[in-house]
Amino acid sequence: MVSVIFSSLAQSSLSAFSNPTYAFLLKPNRNFSQRFSYPPLPCSPFRRRHSSICFDSSKEDSGANFPGKEVLRRWDVPWEWQTVSLTSFACGLSFVLTGLVEAAAVPYLGLQIGELSLDEKAEILFVDQGITTAVVLGVIYGITNTFQPLPDDFLRYDLREPFSLQKGWLLWAGIGLFGAIIAIALTGAAMSLFSGETPERETDALVRLLPLIGSSSISTACLVGITGVLAPLLEETVFRGFFMVSLTKWVPTPVSVLISAAVFALAHLTPSEFPQLFVLGTALGFSYAQTRNLLTPITIHATWNSGVILLLTFLQLQGYDIKELLQASS
């Protein structure tokens, strides 16, 4: 049971390798054929009235007088469904095209993929994720900025009062992370109990990633940078900060949380991990709805992903066969 839970937690955080750049870059080695799929542009130093993406300096809304009430409140969305559809399509297209352009550009940079070391491949993956992050977030920032001035709770990153009972981003990140761990562990155990089929770990993104894990401090740092910084920043801005918030124009906030969680899980292109990813997305959505501060789901997501990488690295360095452990949990 412990191995089932461990595998379930690990798989749900590392199942997003699907960008064309990764497939091309790591083609000579079948162990590296995917990438992390999916975070905001550097924050503006100006006050909120000048930018919708910045560290908020306005006073918090005092409308909520008890914890949990914010979850039910909708955002005041200034755009219509056409903008939501266009922005979502543009983000997806930008993600794919960025990967294709980078893959096509690699040979012109004089890089011989087959001759690159693991560290060099990890570094290129980090740079690629950074470029993708900037491009996709540039799309969101560019489109939403046309609706200025935006309400204060849009694309908000507020470092103040991390332990506030009502909107403390760090407090609710801890609560959300604890709830997500318990829920995903139970989901994985239930799937293992009721499923009659054994998943194919050989085609799993986590198994493909294993050669990089623990190979060197550089590779580990790049993986933590990708999974613990860039990916959470991008995914939470796209799925929670824009998509989930936009849905509240037409449906109640809890429903928008569930819909965005489902889209979040589907976007990772790993059907076998959909239940765990859906549960994780739900925890991320409700934590964001409570605080209306993107630092909350970003912190949960970053802690989750980087924690898995560091745990696997530790076990690898201790001599454990991680691949065998994961396969044994099937």
Number of domains in the chain: 1
Residue 126 lies in a domain: no
Residue 45 lies in a domain: no
Tell me how far CA of residue 259 lies from CA of 38, 164, 247, 255, 267, in angstroms.
18, 28, 8, 6, 12
pLDDT at residue 23 greater than cutoff 80: no
pLDDT band at 211 (very low <50, low <70, confident <90, very high): confident
Residue 35 lies in a domain: no
pLDDT at residue 15 greater than cutoff 80: no
Full residue range of the structural domain in which residue 254 is found: 165-329
Residue 102 lies in a domain: no
Which tens digit of pLDDT belongs to each residue from 95-151? 999 989 988 888 888 887 778 888 998 999 899 999 999 999 999 999 999 999 999
Residue 23 lies in a domain: no
The answer to whether 307 touches 295, Cβ cutoff 8 Å, is no
Residue 286 lies in a domain: yes
Of 154, 317, 88, 328, the C-alpha closest to 220 is 317
Residue 324 lies in a domain: yes
Residue 144 lies in a domain: no
| More confident of the two residues 69 and 135 | 135
pTM: 0.81
Taking the C-alpha atoms of residue 320 and residue 311, their distance in angstroms, rounded to an integer, is: 11
Size of the chain, expressed as the number of residues it contains: 330
Which tens digit of pLDDT belongs to each residue from 219-273? 999 999 999 999 999 999 999 999 999 999 999 999 999 999 999 999 998 888 8
SS3 string, 145-190, reads HHHCCCCCCCCEECCCCCCCCCCCHHHHHHHHHHHHHHHHHHHHHH
Is the link from the previous residue into 67 a cis peptide, with omega within 30 of 0?
no
Q: Which residue has the tokens 């037409």?
A: 250
Taking the C-alpha atoms of residue 260 and residue 193, their distance in angstroms, rounded to an integer, is: 27
